[in-house]
Amino acid sequence: MEITIKNIEEYHKEKAENAGVLFYYSNETCNVCKVLKPKIQEMLEANYPEIPFFYVDMSLTPEISSQESVFTVPSLIVFFDGKETIRKSRHIGVDELKETISRPYKILF
């Protein structure tokens, strides 16, 4: 299930309340992002059900992407215990991401 972050307060709340969380940064004009997003969501749901997926539309909430220094799409950041653990931008491989998430996920959950 996809939830779109609407403001910076909601972003900080989700980051603080979830032990693990993935934020996917994009905008509506990115065609690569539209293809990649469902693949990442599917991979998370199948392998890492404890990590919620949140969509950050950089054109609607530029303050979030600016605060996190995200300036290219697609980008994603995975936080574990409120700390940035994984950051990927532009060329994101789903299998590589799956492997990268595996170790911290197993430790935390």
**Domain locations in the chain as residue ranges:** 2-108
pTM of the predicted model as reported, rounded to 2 decimal places: 0.94
- List the structure tokens of 1: 């299930």
Residue showing tokens 């996917």: 24
Q: Does the domain formed by 2-108 have CATH 1.20.1250.20?
A: no
Q: Give the other-Cβ count within 10 Å of 35's Cβ.
A: 10
Q: Count CB atoms within 10 A of the CB of residue 40.
A: 19
Cβ pair 108, 19 in contact under 8 A: yes
Task: Encode pLDDT of 25-74 as tens digits.
Answer: 999 999 999 999 999 999 999 999 999 999 999 999 999 999 999 999 99
Q: What rounded mean pLDDT belongs to the chain?
A: 95
Tokens of 86: 């994984």
